[in-house]
Structure 1
Amino acid sequence: MRDIEVIANQPLWDHFIETAAQGNNAGVRIARFDTDEAKSPFFSDLFFNDGHYYLFDNSADNQREEAFSYLLTLKGKSNKS
């Protein structure tokens, strides 16, 4: 996911972050609308379960359960022109 900012339901996102930070299971659905893509909108389900984060993206060819220990914000520049 790139260039993401919360534009609606900030309290729900904050609740997800707070709940996960306390070690409690939580989940949130993220919708993004890419004007460059014909397949828009995209949906991702982000879960915190038993101490790990899981991300399922509807645009992925293969849905795979992969555990992540942390949520990170990565910053950089795209090579797209």
Structure 2
Amino acid sequence: MNGRNFSHPAVDFLVTFLKGRVQRARSGELDRGASAVEWVIISAVVVAIVGVVAAVINAALKGGADKVSDCIKGADAGSTC
């Protein structure tokens, strides 16, 4: 009974799991978390760059579409834009 008055499989699992986590934390095996944080930061920077590029392209396309629209509205048979 592991030195306790009661024994439940879920409690035993939880105790074993927590002991393993504490042992990993003390052993310095937490470098994987630092690597994951680096990947999150890199991903966030890439997403920000893509967003800026998309906004620039969107603005350029909107400007071109407005010019074409103005040209079509003011067009007559004898002139070109």
**Greater relative CO, 1 or 2 (CA 8 Å, sep 6+):** 1
| Common topology (TM > 0.5) | no
Structure with bigger gyration radius? 2
* Structure in which a larger fraction of residues adopt helix: 2
Using the size of structure 1 for normalisation, the TM-score is: 0.22
* Structure in which a larger fraction of residues adopt strand: 1
